[in-house]
Chain A
Amino acid sequence: MCIAIPAEVIEIKEGNIGVVDFGDLKQEIRLDLVDVEVGEFVLIHVGFAIQKMSREEGLETRSLFREVYSAMDQKPPVTL
């Protein structure tokens, strides 16, 4: 529920929709809550970008969150 994973914005489409890259998976998400540009990192929660973050922080925390969540969930966490 409060699970959130960093991803890179790789495309911005009409209607506040973006495509992000989680590293091994690309997914459409909503951009209603942040003003971002392609190439920036965002934190994704329940299909929405909820905050911007630095690329450095994004890459660093991603692997950690992945480990924590996949143990919690035993499946790819981004589907949550």
Chain B
Amino acid sequence: MVVGKEITEKLHQMVDRDLTFMHICGTHEAAIARTGLRSVLPKRLKIVMGPGCPVCITPQGEIDAALELVKMGCIIATYGDLLRVPGSIGSLESCGGDVRVVQGVHKAVEIAERTDKEVVFISVGFETTAPTVAASLLTNPPENFSILSCHRLVPPAMKWLLQQGEAALHGFILPGHVCTVMGYHEYEEFPVPQVVAGFEAEDILLGLLMLVEQVKEGTHRVDNAYPRAVTHDGNRKAQDLMYRVFEPSDVEWRGFPVIPQSGLRLRQQFVQYDAQKKFKLQFKHISKDTACICDRVLRGIAEPADCKLYGKVCTPRTPVGPCMVSHEGACKIWHLYNIRHS
């Protein structure tokens, strides 16, 4: 790789210990895999992907709840990425119900405006996406519209990872698009080196260099290596709308236990749009019964190639776990670029 040669050389000079940094963003993983960036890094410097794929971290119980809604005769609208995620019995794609792929929540509202049937939007996504849903709910959608809120917030998951210590992380590359909306002020409370990085190979290398510098200085702060797109405060308007409609709640993530205040549920004023209440759904905890190791991949302690099923039984056409379904899933990305080991 010609780009970033100087930064790469600098990294080789500086890294004198084992370091593991985590990123939390499917687009970062795709950029890293595409440029073969891991192959030019010092041997002792490792980048792992964390829980950065909203579809992947949606637990099976929530997929099952969506399938339950199909059985009740609801029209389901959601993003294409969610269709093939396996539930306990089948997926949204194979369930035979009226399931429609939409560009965003506003298109799901349009479907509801044209029918008398119940329309439920399966609302996944981090802080990048939740404000779009909030904005739509503030436009007074019709009564036959509701959402199944599967939203998740990134900082509480980071906090869990840090407290738990299983992945022995030395720093984080913060999720670019989440920070575009949220800024990075929320991350300043974490006592660990962090950097906001862009998506060019050079941007990522620069981010890594800043992390290594922090480690060697023995300090921690949030460096912004992507000031062109990310500011300290982010998009305040989007944040305000999000918290006007939603409030944090305790929820489970796939691969994680219940993480306090890491989900978003609708506030009381918007309860009529809450599909979980409207249709009296319980999210059940499902223990997995396959050899899929998505849970460990999402916690950053395993990589796709560690999975016995990777590329054999499990491929994008025959996905066993969600990480092989979503475009942002580590397994799907690795498979696309034919990666065998980092």
Contact = CB atoms under 8 A, between A and B. Distances in A.
Interface of A: 1-4, 16, 30, 32-35, 43, 45-48, 50-51, 53-54, 56-57, 60-61, 64-65, 67-69, 71-73, 79-80
B237 A33 contact: yes
Contacts of B87: none
A2 B238 contact: no
9 contacts: A2-B52, A4-B177, A35-B237, A47-B103, A48-B106, A50-B180, A50-B181, A57-B228, A72-B336
A50 B27 contact: no
B228 A68 contact: no
Contacts of B54: 1-2
Given A32-B241, A50-B238, A71 B135 contact: no
Contact of A2 (B31, B80, B138, B175): B175
B168 to A, nearest CB: 26
B327 to A, nearest CB: 4
B220 interface: no
A67 B30 CA distance: 10
Given A45-B177, A68-B34, A57 B229 contact: yes
A32 B26 CA distance: 25
B103 A53 contact: no
B333 interface: yes
B145 to A, nearest CB: 16
B177 A33 contact: no
A50 B125 CA distance: 14
Given A1-B124, A1-B125, A53-B228, A48 B104 contact: yes
A50 to B, nearest CB: 5
Q: What are the 9 tightest A-B residue pairs by CB atom distance, in nearest-first order?
A: A47-B104, A32-B135, A46-B104, A48-B132, A57-B228, A33-B238, A72-B327, A47-B103, A51-B180
A46 B132 contact: yes
Given A2-B126, A30-B106, A68 B31 contact: yes
Interface in B135-151: 135-136, 138-139
Nearest to B31: A68
A73 B325 CA distance: 11
B80 A33 contact: no
Contacts of B327: 1, 3, 69, 72-73, 80
A30 B125 contact: no
Interface string B21-32: 000011100110
Nearest to B240: A33
A1 B151 CA distance: 12
Contacts of B138: 32
Given A2-B25, A32-B135, A43 B81 contact: no
B62 interface: no
Contact of B129 (A2, A32, A34, A68): A2
